[in-house]
Structure 1
């Protein structure tokens, strides 16, 4: 598992529960950032692209609970509801389609709370973007890289895909399972095999990885 905690432990537990072996090797560690919440009246909705925003946003998030949430996936939507937010829309194919759908709900001013390291999204609906957490790169030793040989790497993000591509010199000895086509493309070519999950969620990604392992 290459994703940061606590997602790493959750994915590992799901794999072990299925009777498979799991190697935990987080590539990043997430930490909160200091931030100042804007006036909620200046926005129509809150875009959340990761549950990490809810985990690390802190008490300042409570000032924005009046805004309906546009969640990029089911896990983020569940975290938003648990934090007391009302989820208006939940996407399953990325940010751009989610924002297009939001426009049909008379949403014109969207505030995005997310990570410092993020994929840029061009949309007239995005009126402000604030980083509330950072995903710091962790050092990976040569001995740790060697442990990946012959395994299937689960890639939950494009950033993780790019980081893995930097670390691995002999890609023919490693297979990858990606959460989406964009994540797979970010990893580049030359892998022993590459597969995309049928749906952009952890369970589907694990299922895809198991097919490669078999």
Structure 2
């Protein structure tokens, strides 16, 4: 299949390589650009570090020494692996979603603990809301920002215009919404809607479904392997 990877780097290139290894043709063209904000990490002490995105790990590079030895609660496998590689931890791996991460923290630490959540400028209420309700103090540091690109990447516009894409992978609600807005704004909204849309979770699928776009697959678990496994080897092979 010919698949557009709209997620930001550095994950986009890795996903493109994984698609190629499975026999697909990947068009890597992110619609979000992730950059560190330069925000300083607040003073501790803290009882744990919350990581809800892989994007937070490189943004914490300059603060790694200050955070060394602090227990890390990572949302999923990839974030956990990056945290370990960066010398953070000990690391506990969550099931891939914010609710599961909150449950992991609540089971591991006594209520009343102070947690540092390294996150982006556009963040969701969870897991901070559930942890606060459970008696934890959650301190937020907006360590990175994901800015939308201003126009649809030319390679994507050309592919949509020429029928050169079969599917698109969506990894976040925000990138899905931005991809839709860019396609509509460039006059390629119809072609975008006709693609097979593969979403990492129901939350990611929300802006597409709200716009009346059929979502081909929502991963059973919020893991990339589940999403890639859902892609048919060739257009029409086992696709539903």
Residue 157 of structure 1 contacts residue 183 of structure 1 at CA under 8 Å; is this kept in 2? Answer: yes
Structure 1 residue 212, shift from structure 2 partner: 8.8
Q: Report the more deviating stretch, 102-111 or 8-17.
A: 102-111
Seen in structure 2, the aligned counterparts of structure 1 residues 147 and 126 have a Cα distance that, compared at 3 Å, is farther
Residue 152 of structure 1 contacts residue 212 of structure 1 at CA under 8 Å; is this kept in 2? Answer: no
- Alignment correspondent of 1:120: 125
Seen in structure 2, the aligned counterparts of structure 1 residues 126 and 25 have a Cα distance that, compared at 3 Å, is farther
Seen in structure 2, the aligned counterparts of structure 1 residues 146 and 174 have a Cα distance that, compared at 3 Å, is farther
Aligned residues: 213
For each residue in 1:24-58, what CA deviation from the matched residue of structure 2 results, as whole angstroms up to 9, or x when unmatched? Answer: 211011111112122231x2110001122111223
Q: TM-score, normalised by structure 2?
A: 0.80
Q: 1:175 aligns with which of 185, 193, 196?
A: 196
- Alignment correspondent of 1:47: 50
1:130 maps to 2:141:
yes
Structure 1 residue 165, shift from structure 2 partner: 2.6
3-state SS of paired residue (1:159): helix
Structure 1 residue 139, shift from structure 2 partner: 2.4
The one of the two structures with greater contact order (alpha-carbon pairs below 8 A, sep at least 6) is: 2
| Aligned pairs for 1:27-66 within 5 A | 27-41=31-45, 43-66=46-69
Q: Report the more deviating stretch, 148-157 or 5-14.
A: 148-157
Q: 2:173 aligns with which of 158, 182, 190?
A: 158
- Alignment correspondent of 1:145: 157
* Long gaps (5+) in structure 2: 184-188
Q: TM-score, normalised by structure 1?
A: 0.89
Tell me, in whole angstroms, the C-alpha distance in 2 between the residues paired with 1:51 and 1:159.
Answer: 15
Tell me, in whole angstroms, the C-alpha distance in 1 between the residues paired with 2:218 and 2:18.
Answer: 18
Larger-Rg structure: 2
Structure 1 residue 142, shift from structure 2 partner: 7.9
1:105 maps to 2:108:
yes
Residue 41 of structure 2 contacts residue 63 of structure 2 at CA under 8 Å; is this kept in 1? Answer: yes
